[in-house]
Amino acid sequence: MFLVVLAGCGASSQKRAFEYMPDMARDPAYKAFAPSPVTRDGLTLQRPVAGTIARGYSPMHYGTGDDEAARAGRELQNPYAATPKTLEEGKALFETYCLVCHGASGKGDGPLAEKIPHPPTYTSDRVKPFPEGRIFHVITTGSGKMPSYAAQLSADERWKVVTYVHTLQQMADDAASAQPGDLK
Ligand code: HEC
Per-residue pLDDT of the chain (184 residues; tens, 9 = 90+): 454 444 455 546 777 778 888 777 777 788 999 999 999 999 999 999 998 988 877 788 899 999 999 999 999 999 999 999 999 999 999 999 999 999 999 999 999 988 888 899 999 999 999 999 999 999 999 998 899 999 999 999 999 999 999 999 988 777 776 655 544 4
CA distances from 14 to 10, 18, 57, 93, 131 (A): 11, 12, 52, 58, 73
Specify the pTM: 0.77
Using an 8 Å Cβ cutoff, are 95 and 104 in contact? yes
**Domains defined along the chain, listed by start:** 66-177 (1.10.760.10)
Is the C-beta atom of 162 inside 6 A of ligand 1? no
What proportions of the chain, in percent to the nearest 5, are helix, strand and coil? Answer: 40, 0, 60
Top mutation candidate among 62, 102, 121 for ligand 1, by most atoms within 8 Å of CB: 102
Using an 8 Å Cβ cutoff, are 165 and 106 in contact? yes
